[in-house]
Structure 1
Amino acid sequence: MDFEKLEVWQRSKSLAVQVFLGLQGCRDFGFRDQLGRSALSIPSNIAEGMERGSDREKCHYLRIAKGSCAELRTQLIIGSEIGYIPDALATQWVSETRELSRMLSGLINRISG
């Protein structure tokens, strides 16, 4: 299965791009770096997992991507609460992380089932 054709990879890659572009003005470099790392981890682990040979390995990396999704969601919520991320943007991104998490669960179930 070509990971680049997976909707979950496409959407997570798009979210990572949005996060990087949306946080360019954030002067808290540590915070910005941490969000960027979390956002990058999602499509990167999907790609790595889908290129692995066994279903077990695929699912392992997809679970890591799902964990990174939760990590990013947490950081977005905190970023919104401390005023680093506009509420509307944070709400949109948090919603997308929830949907990505659901999509990853479905993909994991399909591969492992």
Structure 2
Amino acid sequence: MAKFNSFEEILSWQKARALNKAICKITNDSISFSKDFGLRDQIRRSSISISSNIAEGFERETTKEFIRFLYIAKASSGELRSQIILAYDLEYINENDFKNLISNANEVSRLLSGLIKYLTSTL
């Protein structure tokens, strides 16, 4: 298992947590999002899924299980990016918010890839 005492120490979890906050703020503040319950709820769920799967995998206490949940978190990151693109295409978010959210989601995905690669090398 990686040398973390808690999932809160994991940088990808910390970045995912910040991304959750940004997604919740944008979906709360946007009038368009308030009318599109389906996309609003789905984008929130995919965002929350990232940090939740990192935490759940860590708590499984085996490297193999942790890796499996990190892959699920990474997949949720891809889902989130797709939904951010759709929100931008539908003009629910402006270009600045779009660029920031996509950049942050890509960073989380890269961090997850690095952690998966590291943990896989320790098996």
Query: What stretches of structure 1 move > 2 A for 4+ residues in a row?
Result: none
The residue that corresponds to 2:53 in the other structure is: 45
Alignment equivalent of 1:10, drawn from 14, 18, 23: 14
The residue that corresponds to 1:76 in the other structure is: 84
Distance 2:88 2:12 in 1: 24
Alignment equivalent of 1:23, drawn from 24, 27, 47: 27
Map Cα deviations across residues 55-103 of structure 1 (whole Å, 9 max, x no partner): 1100000000000000000000111011111111011100111111110
TM-score normalized with structure 2 length:
0.88
What aligned pairs does 1:76-95 form with structure 2 within 5 A after superposition? 76-95=84-103
Q: CA deviation at 1:53?
A: 2.2
Distance 1:53 1:96 in 2: 27
Distance 1:38 1:80 in 2: 16
Distance 1:55 1:112 in 2: 8
Map Cα deviations across residues 38-61 of structure 1 (whole Å, 9 max, x no partner): 000000000001111221100000
Q: Which runs of 5+ in 1 are unaligned?
A: none
Q: CA deviation at 1:31?
A: 0.8
The residue that corresponds to 2:109 in the other structure is: 101
TM-score normalized with structure 1 length:
0.96
1:63 matched to 2:71? The reply is: yes
RMSD over aligned CA atoms reads 0.8
Q: Which runs of 5+ in 2 are unaligned?
A: none
